[in-house]
Amino acid sequence: MALLEPRDWEGKIRVGDAWTDGGAGVHPVVSPSTGEELGRIGHASAADVRRAAEAASAAQRDWAGLPYTERAAVLRRAGDLYQQHAAEIEQWLRTETGAAPGMAGFQIGTTAQEFYEAAALASAPYGEVLRTAVPGRTSFSRQVPVGVVGVIAPFNVPTILAIRAVAPALALGNAVLLKPDPRTSVSGGVVFARILEEAGLPAGLLSVLPGGAETGSAVIEDPAVRVIAFTGSTRAGRAIGELAGRHLKRVHLELGGNSAIVVLPGTDPSAASSVGAFGSFNHQGQICMVAGRHLVHSSLAEEYTANLAARADKLTVGDPASGDVALGPIIDERQRDNIHAIVTETLAAGAELRAGGTYDRLFYRPTVLGSVPADSRAFREEIFGPVAPVTVFDTVDEAVELARSSEYGLSLSVLGPDPAAAYAVAERIPSGLVHINDQTVQDEAVAPFGGVLDSGTGGRHGGTRANLESFTETRWTTIRADLPQYPF
């Protein structure tokens, strides 16, 4: 049986226990590869968000009161169902999001694992016994559900970047309002509603509310929503953090990046170029962790850049739904034009075009820029496209300063023949994620994930500790056997 039959959700949103018309109209779901309309999805109004929040609040109390084994069972079934419907979901990832087969498959596997890890989280220790100086008193702390969690997810990796907040929030006894990006609302929203419905999640605990900024604002402002988990641009993250702060709400921000790969002297330039190519070109560069800056020692720079360009030239670019391609399309014309503007302005600033720099419709060729100045757009800005800017350094201190010069701090790779020396370099550069002798795009359901500086508010997703801190409140409790006597 197909999971995503359009008759279930065509033109609808999910509020509480029903697929219903959205108050903000109906919008097309479009393939970025072909421009074909794949279906239509409803968009949620502020009134829809209010109704969803009311349903979530009512359902959450009973959900939190269930034995943890019942919550865990729902999430395990969801992981199984996700894998059982992998072929259907992968086809949507290829057509709706432009994911190449390898990237689509990675999302399937990691998303299923997020369900399984969340199932285990439901039974994790969630408190501690505290020492007390008061005789006869027992003192302890316990993590309790926050109530309703708002999740605002992006277009680029819509399954992982939604479920890594949705699944642990549910496992810990919360309800969730999910606002997927309107461009990828089926892969990043409808699929989770259908999977969890089939897995036995009680009605009201997950609403799917596609829409734009107005819908997101309504989720943040609703009084029932106590925690916001947002993944997206730094610009949007600032606005969301400000709005959430006005309402005294906790907000977890996973934002943009301009991650560096540092290639130290003595590294094999051919092997390093393979690491660098994957780090920059995977998923058309539309990943927050992609290698946005290749900092290469002068003794290796020419050979590294030539190898990187040769790898770029061999990569196939095309419609992921029609064949086995390495790169798919950019999500839309606006993003493609921004990528091309950064490339052309960086070339005008003195960089060398070593590969790519051209496009056909939304298919942008993997691009290598050599001798990139440190004051150019390609060095300073997050490109979010398949572009590898190479900047040369002469000393390790210079490499550290170049890496530190960015306002971002998401992921960092240092490549070198001595892992200990590479690690020592990494210790000097602010970053939420560090990978020695590997590329910047890494993710595992069991690992804490998050950036520093303008890349976000730290490791708030993944792993038991981060998830408990993100989606629960700490409650201090004391118990005495008898009433004490006070001097009043």
Which letter, b or e, does each residue of 453-479 get, where b requires 16 or more Cβ atoms within 10 Å of its Cβ? bbbbbbbbbbbbebbbbbbbeeeeeee
* Among 131, 138, 204, 143, CA closest to 168: 143
Q: At what angle do helices 101-121 and 86-97 cross, to 10 degrees?
A: 120
Q: Where are the beta strands (DSSP E) in 84-147?
A: 127-130, 137-145
Here the tokens at position 207 are: 């609403």
Q: Is 254 a catalytic residue?
A: yes
Task: Find where tokens 């201190």 sit.
Answer: 397
Burial grade of 245 (CB within 10 A; 0-12, 13-18, 19 or more): exposed
- From 96, 254, 302, 345, active-site residue: 254
- Separation CA 358–CA 282 (nearest Å): 17
Q: Is 54 a catalytic residue?
A: no
Contact 99, 111 (CB under 8 A): no
**Cα Rg of the chain (Å, integer):** 24
- From 36, 288, 381, 444, active-site residue: 288
Task: Find where tokens 């609403």 sit.
Answer: 207
String of DSSP letters for 139-172: EEEEEEE-SEEEEE--SSSTTHHHHHHHHHHHHT
Contact 335, 385 (CB under 8 A): yes
Active site amino acids: 254, 288
